[in-house]
Structure 1
Amino acid sequence: MLSLGARSATKTQILQSLGFNLTHVPEPAIHQAFQHLLQSLRAPSKDLDLRMGSVLFIKKELWLQTNFLDNIKRLYESKVFSTDFSSTSTAREQINSYVEKETEGKVVDLIQGLEPLTVMVLVNHIFFKAKWEKPFNPGYTRKSSPFLVGKRTTVKVPMMHQVEQFAFGVDSELNCSVLQMDYSGDIVAFFVLPGQGKMGQLEQALSARMLRKWSHLLQKRWIEVFIPKFSISASYDLETILPKMGIRDAFDKNADFSGITRRDFLQLSKATHKAVLDVSEEGTEAAVATATKLTVRSKDGPSHTVVRFNRSFLLLLVRRATEAVLFLGKVENPTKF
């Protein structure tokens, strides 16, 4: 969205750092693809609650280019709010309460502080809530199981447990096990457990191609699975991360956002990302309903593979139809919120 209002090197740095090759893909095609992706993700579904949005909070006196406003509304369905930034605490409260409401209270205090010179805040938010196609029975959740943090420390976590048929595979090239669990609807979760000491190697190799490879590699089989029940939250100050990716000019005196406003000089001062994810017996949010499945097959039933997610693992939530990754994270300590 920001690239729509950026010009010269500022624009190029944003798009190239996000992996777009402007000689192969013209800029309008990039925005149209995002527009299409957002529309497909917003398609209503009875099985899952997926809400996303973009909001621009702008200083009342800021004179915006009509073209920029039209484009962010048309392509990204962004809302625009006129905001009084003369009181940074009031503006911060307005932004945080809006995001909290849109994410059903999951993302709180997104903005920790605003500089007195702030004239514009751009916020993207996503809220995801779904139920497992094959839910866990809370009665089989072990209240206190060891989970290895680092090389030697263990913490106690509630460990969900079930024996079911899931798509599963071992990637011998990367030395990791991949379990696919489906949500009701079109979303799948990939739980990826690297071999001891192989997390760095796995992170380096992550790519869209790798995901496709896993999708083809996995086969349905009986699995006895142990997965921690957890709620995790992570916040990132992107003003330290984005320049390392190549988005530098946007944050300093070389910034060119003349596509947003011609009258004033704008530069980025803060970029924040916060994600919250709950994984429980029912799905991604704890629910009061009890699972109807009460059978754990006896050990002398069909032979099965045992997979224990009792140390650091990766988790990806993917929309099947578009192969869009909605969430990607590393669970290092499920007790930390």
Structure 2
Amino acid sequence: MASSLYGVLFLVGLCAPIYCVPPANVPRGGSPHPSSIKSIPTSQVSSRNADFAFRLYRRLVLEAPSRNIFFSPMSVSASLAMLSLGARSATKTQILQSLGFNLTCTPEPAIHRGFQNLVHSLTVPGKDLSLQMGSVLFIKRELQLQARFLDNVKRLYEAKVFSTDFSDTAMARTRINSYVEKETRGKVVDLIQSLDPLTAMVLVNHIFFKAKWEKPFNPADTKKSFPFLVGKGATVRVPMMHQMEQFAFGVDPELNCFVLQMNYRGDSVAFFVLPGKGKMKQLEQALSARTLRKWSHSLQKRWIEVFIPRFSISASYDLETILPKMGIHSAFDKSADFSGIAKRDSLQVSKATHKAVLDVSEEGTEAVAATATKLVVRSKDGPSHPTVSFDRAFLMLIMDEATESILFLGKVENPTKS
């Protein structure tokens, strides 16, 4: 049975608190509709999403240093963009600016059309590669939604909408968690730990990815117990996959790191990035859409001996404590203006939860010259091909080639910690 990388959820509970938030004095028609507005190119949305992904990654590292990091930037970006449809005034501006968009240069309708194209592209059913992303709104029965918001989330983000009784929090929680578990093939369970009785809306974005390597590893070549360096001098034992093959490979001399690209069958690729010893922080600070483009264009196919651990990791994040540090403040406090969502109720975001699971195995994932660097390990009389062993902390990115989108991003500090 193939191992898989199973998806990621961004959940937002929009609360209708007891207090009232005075409506902002802004026009009501600010949602994208005019057909005369052209979408921005998908590549531009992907580039903004990549920079947002790396900013969020750096923030997650600050919150949990020396721990495994894993999340779906695409899931978080799409959820925030969809949420911005119902935001007004500073709440809207903060969300879209944090995603990297300048509303002076790019009209909001064009941004959402760009996301629309992206969301539509990211559904690839297939035998060897399955990629599915979806959004769901669980709406309090008594909540009267703005018709334009409802139309836009369905039309632009292909969202489903379910009426939900939040007065019975246990039943609502079970319903949402069951839906999420089904959509992620049973890999993401109990996403929501609790619900506030004041919850008015829960927004869920899920992404599911399962793919086979174009050049799979032979399980017979996997070393059952291989040392992997964690922390200062400490090691853990991991199963280490091994193969000699032609892969796109390079060394970035500026960032002092190896970059290995391994293709999946279909239009997705994985990047494994191994910094030199003591150079992880330098690499993390330099990550950007530009860095990613540089790697994509400079890697060259060559014979290489590769050692990559077989592992499974998961991560959960309470984004309501992280996103305000990235500039999205008002969505989470009493100044929130989501008057584009509901006709009467004053709403604010009460919870933003993100959970991701990654499995990497010999079969696949269900979720420069080597001589230019001192990091290449070879003996005097050994073969001329480079050898790269991912036996210490490394980064992993999974990308959709057709849209140049980062689907998943993570750091493996300890592959034995799930």
Instruction: Tell me the TM-score range normalised by the shorter chain.
Output: over 0.9
Identity across aligned pairs (percent)? Answer: 80
Q: In the alignment, does 2:213 pair up with 1:132?
A: yes
In structure 2, the residue matched to 1:70 is: 151
Residue type matched to 1:75 in 2? L
Q: Aligned match of 2:104 in 23, 48, 68?
A: 23
**Aligned mate of 2:189, from 98, 108, 113:** 108
Task: Give the superposition deviation at 1:215.
Answer: 1.2
| Structure 2 counterpart of 1:189 | 270
> How big is the shift at 1:45?
4.0
Q: Is the 8 A contact 1:222 1:302 kept in 2?
A: no
Structure with the bigger RCO (C-alpha within 8 Å, sep 6+) is 2
How many residue pairs are counted as aligned between the two chains? 324
1-structure distance, mates of 2:299, 2:289 = 16
The residue type equivalent to 1:148 in the other structure is L
**Distance in 2, Cα, partners of 1:301 & 1:330:** 31
SS in 1 for 2:85: helix
- Per mean C-alpha deviation after superposition, the further-off stretch among 128-137 and 32-41 is 32-41
Asked whether the 8 Å contact 2:164–2:172 carries over to 1, the reply is yes
Q: Distance in 1 between matches of 2:228 and 2:383?
A: 28
8 Å CA contact 1:222–1:303 kept in 2: the answer is no
Using the TM superposition, give the Cα deviation of residue 301 of structure 1 relative to its aligned residue in structure 2, in angstroms.
Answer: 9.6
1:92 alignment partner in structure 2: 173
Shift of 1:303: 2.6
* Separation in 2, partners of 1:53, 1:250: 23
| Matching of residue 57 in structure 1 with residue 138 in structure 2 | yes
2-structure distance, mates of 1:335, 1:119: 39
Q: Distance in 2 between matches of 1:122 and 1:38?
A: 16
Give the one of 237, 250, 254 matched to 1:156: 237
The Cα shift of 1:186 comes to 0.6
Question: How many Å separate the matches in 1 of 2:270 and 2:147?
Answer: 41
Cross-structure match for 1:283: 364
Q: Which residue identity does 1:71 align to in structure 2? A: N
Alignment partner, residue 322 of structure 1 = 403
3-state SS, counterpart of residue 136 of structure 1: coil
Match of 1:310 in 2: 391
Matched residue type, 2:333: D
Which position in structure 2 is the counterpart of 1:294? none
Unmatched 5+ residue regions in structure 2?
Answer: 1-81, 368-380
* 1:297 alignment counterpart: none
Confirm or deny that 1:180 pairs with 2:180. Answer: no
How far apart are the structure 2 equivalents of 1:282 and 1:37? 28
State the one-letter code of the partner of 1:165.
Q
3-state SS in 1 of match to 2:144: coil
How many angstroms does 1:222 deviate by? Answer: 1.0
Which residue of 252, 262, 270 corresponds with 2:333? 252
CA distance in 1, matches of 2:184, 2:251: 36
Contact 1:149 1:155 in 2 (8 A): yes
Paired AA for residue 64 in structure 1: L
Q: Report Cα offsets for 1:267-290 as digits up to 9, x if no partner.
A: 00000111111110000149xxxx
The whole-number CA distance in structure 2 between the counterparts of 1:43 and 1:163 is 30
The match for 2:79 is: none
**Residue type at the aligned position of 1:82:** S
Q: Supply the AA of the counterpart residue of 1:264.
A: D
- Could you report, residue by residue, the CA deviation over 1:142-175 in whole angstroms, capped at 9, with x for unpaired residues? 1111111122221111110001111110000001
Residue by residue over 1:206-249, the C-alpha shift from the partner in whole angstroms, topping out at 9 and shown as x without a partner, is 11111110112211111111000011111110000110001110
Aligned match for 2:117, one of 36, 41, 62 = 36
Question: What amino acid is the match of 1:215?
Answer: S
Cα distance in 2 for residues equivalent to 1:125 and 1:177: 31
Give the Cα–Cα distance (whole angstroms) in 1 for the partners of residues 352 and 134 of structure 2.
16
Preserved CA contact (<8 Å) 1:193 1:314: yes
| 2: CA distance, partners of 1:44 / 1:109 | 26
Match of 1:235 among 281, 297, 316: 316
Q: Distance in 2 between matches of 1:264 and 1:66?
A: 15
Q: Which TM-score applies when normalising by structure 2? A: 0.76
Whether the aligned pair in 1 keeps the contact of 2:124 and 2:132 (CA below 8 Å) is no
Shift of 1:302: 6.0
Decide whether the 8 Å contact of 1:56 with 1:81 is kept in 2. yes
AA aligned opposite 2:324: P
Q: Is the 8 A contact 2:304 2:385 kept in 1?
A: yes
SS in 1 for 2:206: strand
Aligned AA (1:166) = F
The separation in 2 between residues aligned to 1:252 and 1:217, in whole angstroms, is 45
CA contact (8 A) 1:42 1:52 kept: yes
- Give the TM-score normalised by the residue count of structure 1: 0.94
Of 210-219 and 69-78, deviating more is 210-219
SS of equivalent residue, structure 1 residue 119? strand
2:350 counterpart letter in structure 1: S
Q: CA deviation at 1:44?
A: 3.8
| Structure 2 counterpart of 1:263, one-letter code | R
Aligned match of 2:286 in 193, 205, 224? Answer: 205
The whole-number CA distance in structure 1 between the counterparts of 2:241 and 2:158 is 39
- Residue type of the partner of 2:285? Q
Equivalent-residue separation in structure 2 for 1:105 and 1:336 (angstroms)? 20
| Counterparts of 1:217 and 1:314, CA distance in 2 | 18
